[in-house]
Structure formats: C-alpha cells, structure tokens
C-alpha cells in the first residue's frame, strides 16, 4: 500500500520546549493516531528551538490530505488543543518523497 509522509517543523518559544514536548508527546500525537497518522520520528534542535517530526499515513497524498482535513475538524483535536500550551511561534509542513541514498 502507498504511504504518504509529511515533514513538519515547529518553531518553539524560547524556554518553552519542555512544556511543548509534554503536550506534543501526549495529547497531540494521541489525537493524530486516532485519525490514522503515525509519528515516525521526532527531533529537537535545541540551538534553533525547533521540533521537526515526520507524520506518516497509509494512503495516497490525496487520502492523507483528506484525513488531515477530517482531523483538523475533529473532537479529538479540539480536546488536544484544550491543553495546548501556546508555545508554537511558527509551523511549516510539506509532503515529502523519499530519496535513495
């Protein structure tokens, strides 16, 4: 089956990384899992105060984007954001393709 991968990056407020990671690892990822997304990897760049993570979905890019729209409007996401610590300054997301290296 086809998998779609999205690379996501969040710029985090200085001094708020620990608080963000607690929320990210708990409510946010749990809400995404309920909609078929997996977190394949996540990294903290302490020097740049960013979190970079890889979201994956079993399906085509169109199916990924459709599932993401459903997720965005879901009660699970709304519940996760009830505890959002307000720490993201900017976020970036892009569907990416693997490269053989």
pLDDT at residue 1 is higher than 90: no
Q: Is residue 18 part of a domain?
A: yes
Q: Is residue 62 part of a domain?
A: yes
pLDDT at residue 11 is higher than 90: yes
Q: How many domains does the chain have?
A: 1
Q: Is residue 27 part of a domain?
A: yes
- C-alpha pair distances (Å), 25 with each of 41, 56, 59, 98: 11, 16, 24, 25
- What CATH number has the domain bearing residue 76? 3.30.70.100
Q: Is residue 7 part of a domain?
A: yes
b/e sequence 49-75, b meaning 16+ C-beta within 10 Å: bbbebebbbebeeeebeebbeebeeee
User: Which pLDDT value is given to residue 4?
Assistant: 97
Q: Is residue 101 part of a domain?
A: no
Q: What is the pLDDT of residues 52-90, one digit of tens each?
A: 999 999 999 999 999 999 999 999 999 999 999 999 999
User: Which pLDDT value is given to residue 19?
Assistant: 97
Domain containing residue 46: 3-94
Which phi and psi (to 5°) does residue 61 adopt?
Answer: -60, -40
Q: Is residue 22 part of a domain?
A: yes
């Amino acid at each position: 089956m086809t998998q779609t991968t999205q690379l996501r990056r969040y710029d985090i407020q200085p001094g708020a990384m620990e608080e963000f990671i607690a929320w990210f690892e708990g409510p946010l990822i749990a809400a995404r899992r309920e909609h078929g997304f997996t977190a394949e990897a996540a990294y903290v760049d302490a020097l740049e105060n960013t979190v970079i993570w890889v979201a994956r979905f079993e399906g085509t890019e169109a199916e990924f984007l459709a599932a993401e729209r459903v997720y965005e409007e879901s009660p699970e996401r709304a519940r996760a954001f009830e505890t959002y610590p307000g720490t993201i300054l900017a976020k970036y997301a892009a569907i990416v393709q693997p490269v053989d290296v």
